[in-house]
Amino acid sequence: MKTSLCSLFVLFFLGGMMQAAFVSAAVSQSVQSPEAFLGYEKGERLTPHHRVMDYVTHVAENSDRVMAEPYGKTYGGRTLMLLYVSTPENLARLDEIRTNNLRRAGLLGGEATSLESKAIIWLSYNVHGNEISATEAALFTLYELATGDDTHLQNTVVIIDPLLNPDGRDRYVNWYHQTAGRQPDPYRTSREHIEPWPNARTNHYNIDLNRDWAWQTQIETRQRMAVYHQWMPHIHADFHEMGVDQPYYFAPAAEPFHVAITDWQREFQQTIGENHARHFDDDFRVYFTREIFDLFYPSYGDTYPTFNGAIGMTYEQAGNTQGGLSVITADGDTLTFARRILNQHVAGMSTVEVASMHYERVAEEFFRFFRDAAETPYAPHKTYVISGNNTPDKLQLLTSYLDAWGISYGHAPNTRSVRALDYQSLEERTISLNSQDLLISAHQPKSVLLNVLFEPRTTVVDSLTYDITAWAVPYAMGLEAFAIERRIDPAGPFSINHPVTDFSAMPEQPYAYLARWESKQDAFYLAQLLQHDIRVRFATQPFSMDGQRTWERGTLILTRRGNEQHGDRFDSVVRELADELGRELVAVNTGLVMSGRDFGSSGVPMVHAPRVALIGGPGANPNNFGEVWHFLDQELEYPHSVFEHTHLNRVNFSDFDVIILPQGGYLNQVSNQVKDDLRRWIRNGGRMITFGNAIRALDEGDQFQELRSMPEPTDEARTAQQLLRAEDRRRDAAASLITGSIYYLNLDNSHPLAFGYPEFYYSLKSGANAFEYLESGFNVGTLQAGAHRSGFQGYRVKDHIENSLIFGVQPYGRGNIVYLNDNPIFRGFWHNGALLFANAIFFVGQ
Ligand SMILES: [Zn+2]
């Protein structure tokens, strides 16, 4: 749940800082090296999380230059920890340095107590669990900073997060140690170099934490970012590993740079890169810069800090999943773990050094970033307005994010006739504002982040980014919203008009309760009711009880009849859950409606609590699998069984009502018997929810959705392509791509799959696959002409994807197949699709 996000952040941080959770002592002589403490040489073994914690705690306890602060726990219950490293004098006034930094940037009220600056450096290690040299290097960097020359620490505060993703990393470490023999085998395709599905890159739920910095869908990110925003570092380096055959990568980053990136940020990336190069050259280390790793998608460990004023950087060491303790690379070299650690250590120390050499300028430019942002926002739109017509749940979600991002907002002044860009149509029109509307002015210190997250059309400098190219928040949250070129300031604090339920005024034993169906929280309420064995009906037609309020399709109807077995508990469970989850509940004393279907009608079916199975296994897209798993387990808290496809021959499918297939071609690997059983299961009434074309392997002769083939190029176009210069080929290939762009879908909201939605939906399309309309079935979400809203779309695919199926339901025997060709829960941040996915689970086929 998002509602308590903000207060949680504050509490956690204050808990850490104020209650003196710091561990520190003033005996620097007794700090042991990682080797002495851990009992093995650098690169000889992998250090598991608990030993990493032991070592950093040892350093904090024995060095007067280091303080340790636990800042949270992972899903797996492992501790997350920060180390603050500086001189004892600086550490003594650490909180003063922190608040002065925020104040001078205009991010905190009050006057700074001093104009003296320190460069604040934040080093993040091992956000990807199987990129293991990062955390090991953090230990050596911590040790050197704690025991070496302290010149650079006088000018800096170094914040080290030695292990951002302990669950992922321990998955790798445990697997590796179980798999390797007495001596490491460098042969690169041997068992110890090939991780099992779903590998250890991601966190417990297989979510990529390095796509989550802005969206904070995972607890690791949420807890980390709470502290990050309390510090707002000037330099952020994120330590990664890439394939074993590439040497080392550091700043400056590759194009495309987002247009919001300032000249100073570009310039200092160059300065840092030159400093690293000097150290790498000294030891004849090989490296590259300005390739592959771009600065565009705002939710990475380099871009998110960049849009928050820092010099944000990714460092990449050769290694990653195939690295092991030693591996033979393509050029015949043996890459050892020790060498990987050393490179990362050199880059880390060089970062501290170069920041220290320029510390005053680094700090000044950081403050200037926010001053300039407030005075002259870079983007054409100076004001964003989120209509007060959006549902309270959507407004709540948005404000919890704005609070987490440190973006200020208020309510709009009453204004007639403002020219505004409507996100829905992407056209200018005249609107009027009132005090119910939420207004965000770009004239504020955080305006760069604001504009990057809200700009209606992302400004793509170059199409060759390796990630999605559109993410505007109003689309991701499905908000009615406007962007205005004029400056308008908020007229006062914004508050949401939550409908309140006066439970005490309710009749003791009403005929039924009604609850609306508009958001993920409503689906959560349903999921909880079902787990309490409450029998729930839902409206398939709009209805009215009093001729005034219309209850839309999907409205939950909890009748007393059918719940007799609960006795009086029925009322208390229904009411208490609604109260706990902040749901509005309306009690009615009749089942007779004024318009629509009466509650006893066959048009008001029962939701039979579905028994849900999720399939994974080698070949399944681990991220998509993880998104579904996280949604079921953490967001709906709904019981489900997970199977790997290799074990499907042991599953009795009739034990389940819903089977979810994440993206991937893995069903090609199951036996014909299992394929037959799955088809029979659908025909007997099962509901198969398939992401992308995962169901394809079950298709015996064009029964299912049909993938459209790309149009053949004309002879002329083919010749032009054949004669393309080598250097232009990659760019030409991009003309056939969609790299994560936003489209307007026409939605048939009379179908249960789209209950709770208007007649449109913004979809994030992450590829150029297009499917034909279903001949026998419901084309619920369709992409028609003029649908493109934001992001990169290659010119060759525009016509290809028009008039194609995005979401559909195909009856098959007595069962149904639900097609989700775009991912409605992409990375967990495409919040507006969550209800659609819940509809697929609970409503379709009931
Ligand atoms: Zn990585």
Which residues make beta-bridge pairs with 811? 816
C-alpha 622 – ligand 1 centre gap (Å): 15
What pLDDT was estimated at residue 755?
98
Rounded Cα distance between 569 and 146, Å, is 61
User: Is 317 in contact with 343 (CB distance < 8 Å)?
Assistant: yes
Contacts for 41 with CB less than 8 Å, ≥ 6 apart: 35, 338
What pLDDT was estimated at residue 22?
42
Answer left, alpha or beta for residue 91, where phi above 0 means left and psi between -120 and 50 means alpha: alpha
Of the pLDDT bands very low, low, confident and very high (cuts 50, 70, 90), residue 674 is very high
Does pLDDT of 210 surpass 60? Answer: yes
Per-residue pLDDT tens digits for 519-533:
999 999 999 999 999
Of the pLDDT bands very low, low, confident and very high (cuts 50, 70, 90), residue 462 is low
User: Is 484 in contact with 381 (CB distance < 8 Å)?
Assistant: yes
What pLDDT was estimated at residue 793?
86
Percentage of the residues of the chain whose pLDDT score is greater than 90: 85
Rounded Cα distance between 267 and 361, Å, is 12
Residue of 316, 306, 318 lying closest to 347 (CA atoms): 316
Q: Is the bond preceding 713 in cis, omega lying within 30 degrees of 0?
A: no
Residue 596's SS3 state is coil
Rounded Cα distance between 81 and 224, Å, is 9
Rounded Cα distance between 216 and 219, Å, is 7
Rounded Cα distance between 249 and 273, Å, is 10
What pLDDT was estimated at residue 29?
59
C-alpha 240 – ligand 1 centre gap (Å): 4
Per-residue pLDDT tens digits for 610-656:
999 999 999 999 999 999 999 999 999 999 999 999 999 999 999 99
What pLDDT was estimated at residue 711?
81
Residue positions annotated with a catalytic role: 353
User: Is 283 in contact with 204 (CB distance < 8 Å)?
Assistant: no
Does pLDDT of 725 surpass 60? Answer: yes
Contacts for 575 with CB less than 8 Å, ≥ 6 apart: 503, 506, 513, 585
Of the pLDDT bands very low, low, confident and very high (cuts 50, 70, 90), residue 458 is confident
Rounded Cα distance between 325 and 345, Å, is 17
Per-residue pLDDT tens digits for 301-341:
999 999 999 999 999 999 999 999 999 999 999 999 999 99
Torsion of CA 337, 343, 347, 353, to 10 degrees: 110
What pLDDT was estimated at residue 736?
82
Burial class of 430 by CB neighbour count within 10 A (0 to 12, 13 to 18, 19+): exposed
Residue of 155, 346, 86 lying closest to 239 (CA atoms): 346
What pairing do the DSSP bridges indicate for beta strands 550-551 and 481-484?
unpaired
Percentage of the residues of the chain whose pLDDT score is greater than 70: 96
Does pLDDT of 550 surpass 60? Answer: yes
Q: Count the residues in the chain.
A: 846
The two counts, helices (H) then strands (E), for the chain are 24, 33
C-alpha 103 – ligand 1 centre gap (Å): 33
Which two three-digit tokens encode residue 600?
A: 């006893």
Residue of 371, 384, 387 lying closest to 446 (CA atoms): 371
C-alpha 316 – ligand 1 centre gap (Å): 7
C-alpha 359 – ligand 1 centre gap (Å): 28
Return the half-sphere exposure (C-beta side, CA atoms, 13 A cut-off) of residue 497. Answer: 10
User: Is 748 in contact with 465 (CB distance < 8 Å)?
Assistant: no
Per-residue pLDDT tens digits for 226-267:
999 999 999 999 999 999 999 999 988 887 778 889 999 999
Which two three-digit tokens encode residue 135?
A: 């955390």
Which two three-digit tokens encode residue 165?
A: 């993703």
Rounded Cα distance between 152 and 157, Å, is 9
What pLDDT was estimated at residue 26?
44
C-alpha 430 – ligand 1 centre gap (Å): 46
φ and ψ of 763, to 5 deg: -115, 140
> Using the 8-state DSSP alphabet, how is residue 408 labeled?
-
Mean pLDDT calculated for residue range 72-98: 98
C-alpha 139 – ligand 1 centre gap (Å): 18
Of the pLDDT bands very low, low, confident and very high (cuts 50, 70, 90), residue 63 is very high
What is the amino acid identity at position 594?
A: M
**Average pLDDT of the residues of the chain:** 93
What pLDDT was estimated at residue 418?
97
C-alpha 452 – ligand 1 centre gap (Å): 23
Q: Which residue has the tokens 């302990």?
A: 166
What pLDDT was estimated at residue 735?
81
Mean pLDDT calculated for residue range 556-574: 96
Does pLDDT of 16 surpass 80? Answer: no
Rounded Cα distance between 169 and 366, Å, is 33
Which residues have C-beta under 5 Å from ligand 1, the single-atom ion? 128, 131, 240
Per-residue pLDDT tens digits for 107-146:
999 999 999 999 999 999 999 999 999 999 999 999 999 9
C-alpha 127 – ligand 1 centre gap (Å): 7
What pLDDT was estimated at residue 463?
57
Lowest mean pLDDT among 198-202, 343-347, 553-557, 736-740: 736-740
